Structure 1
């Protein structure tokens, strides 16, 4: 499984959408893998993530957003800085 990006730099209050997908995309179970993806944040005080992969930067710090589907995982390291 792969993520649309490996890292993300955000400012407090920003939102960004990331996507996860089966790898390879033409794998026999790709549709099942893609249909079962869930997202989670390692630190919801820093960044939250919605079911569709939309990340919201909450406070300064770092968090990992992990996409999971069965035994497959992929993640994005999010760094949040103060709003300008």
Structure 2
């Protein structure tokens, strides 16, 4: 007898406050991802001929941007950290 797979669907009904927070979080994650990507592209353009120096570059973390952009402190730091992880995998 074959095992049957089951699937579950969940639906959430966020409050108006939660909807605002979700939008802020997605916006901040998108901003941090794009900012980090732009810095990596810029670093690569400067160091593309020096492979050794390129390997030694320390890329910034999302925490670096919180001092410059205060509004990033409003959202969950793990969401911003995941943007960095996703960028590194890409």
Return the TM-score normalized by structure 2.
Answer: 0.29
What TM-score, normalized to structure 1?
A: 0.30
